[in-house]
Amino acid sequence: MESNRRSFLKIGGICALGLGALPVTKALARKALPQVSDFPEALKANQWAMVVDMKKCWEQADRDCKDCILACHQYHNVPDIGTIKEEIKWLWQESYHDTFHDQATKFNIANIEHNPIMVLCNHCTSPPCVRVCPTKATFKDKKSGIVKMDYHRCIGCRFCMAGCPYGARSFNFRDPIPYIKTELNMAYPARERGVVEKCSFCTERLARGLFPACVEACRHGALTFGDITDADSPVRKLLAENYSIKRRPELGTGPNVYYII
Amino acid sequence: MKIYNAKLIIPGLLIFVVMVTFPIWYNKGSAAPPPEPSLNTPAIQRMAEKQCVLPKDQMRTDHMQLLNEWRTEVVRNGNRLYVAWDGKEYNMSLQNECMRCHSNKSEFCDTCHVYAGLKSGSQPYCWTCHIAPKENK
């Protein structure tokens, strides 16, 4: 074929047109492919955090109130094995000395000594459990700051349990399903033998625009939930008005559960 | 051509052939009938257009990949809404979405999985954690 400037420009022009059409066809083709996204009603935050106001919790007359624990454990199909060694817990009570043993002194105000403190996973800013997990089954979700568990990936090595300074993780030594004594929540899975489980800050509820089950269940408003990076959030407002403490801040894990005591 | 020890070799060969082909003729005619997963659930019957997330053939061969992708999107990436090729929206959840229509696990999931002889009691290990809907039987 004889080549001259005219035919060269023609072919060049057609090629340029083709390249220009590429993004258009891509955009058209994408429409036909499945898309994934959040639910429109999902609650979003850079770092979810909780403020536990123990004063409000203690003030109420009924000391045996465990609404938050029951709501959480019922919602997430948490089993009740019945022994301390195999106990599975997402949200539970701990004594002041065990919760804040680095900050506790011999002489405390009477209120503190005999009252339980609500404890849960702190969803740390730099979580040690995530650092030690060999399979990345537990990971820090960049979108929400929640320390999540991927039970599909957990191999049950329990490094994370050794890494967590708060004891927030429980291991399923046996099949937990027969030990679920609350009514089964059919919308949430259970776990199997050989995986570690913990509080998830109710990721699945946040995705549906709902606050965590414990926050919703507390009749006394002792649990406040919000975005710690947002200065207008309810947690930040509470922290601005009250003196708060965190569990074992000296470890540098950056816990995101604050206590007003 | 002469075969040495033909007395022994030919019966030996015959026995060998019979033994090698034993599984074929022994199981002849006793093949398990192909599974017929049942779509007869109230939720499916209410549907005007009976259409799953993907076209039927694709669901049949690729549902495990789809479930795995859904798992990754939901658990790892925090996305829960799936807009399918036909524009329909799905909640990416085995327990809450797949089983909402296919509420007959024993007649739908299990028929093929048992037929195909999947390991651990002829079931994939979805159901060690995920809770199957209660079936009225």
Contact B82 A34 (CB under 8 A): yes
Smallest Cα distance from A31 to chain B, Å = 8
Predicted confidence band of residue A33 (pLDDT cuts 50, 70, 90) = confident
Q: Which residues of B touch A32 (CB under 8 A)?
A: 85
pLDDT at B98: 93
pLDDT at A3: 75
Angle at A252 between CA A248 and CA A253, to 5 degrees: 80
Mean local confidence (pLDDT), A95-112: 82
pLDDT at A105: 76
Contact A35 B128 (CB under 8 A): no
pLDDT at B136: 64
pLDDT at B120: 56
Q: Which residues of B touch A29 (CB under 8 A)?
A: none
Which stretch of A18-27, A143-152, B57-66, B88-97 has the lowest confidence by average pLDDT? Answer: A18-27
pLDDT at A27: 73
Q: Is residue A11 part of a domain?
A: yes
Q: Is the pLDDT of residue A32 over 70?
A: no
Mean local confidence (pLDDT), A59-83: 89
Between these two residues, A16 and A237, which has the higher pLDDT value?
Answer: A237
Which stretch of A68-72, A102-106, A130-134 has the lowest confidence by average pLDDT? Answer: A102-106
Residues A66 and A92 placed together within one structural domain of the fold = yes
Smallest Cα distance from B68 to chain A, Å = 10
Q: Which residues of B touch A39 (CB under 8 A)?
A: 80-81, 91
Between these two residues, B136 and A103, which has the higher pLDDT value?
Answer: A103
- B80 closest CB neighbour out of A39, A148, A187: A39
Which stretch of A58-67, A81-90, B97-106 has the lowest confidence by average pLDDT? Answer: A58-67
pLDDT at A141: 95
Domain range for A23:
1-36
Residues A171 and A253 placed together within one structural domain of the fold = yes
Total domains in the fold of chain A: 2
Tell me what percent of the residues of chain A surpass a pLDDT of 90. 73
Q: Is residue B16 part of a domain?
A: no
Residues A249 and A128 placed together within one structural domain of the fold = yes
On whether any CB of chain B is under 8 Å from the CB of A139, the answer is: yes
Q: What is the mean pLDDT of chain A?
A: 91
Residues A171 and A246 placed together within one structural domain of the fold = yes
ipTM: 0.83
Residues A110 and A205 placed together within one structural domain of the fold = yes
Q: Say which residues have a Cβ less than 8 Å from residue A147's Cβ, sequence separation at least 6.
A: A121, A123, A124, A127, A129, A130, A138, A139, A140, A141, A198
Q: Is residue A125 part of a domain?
A: yes
Domain range for B71:
37-128
Both tokens assigned to A71: 């709501």
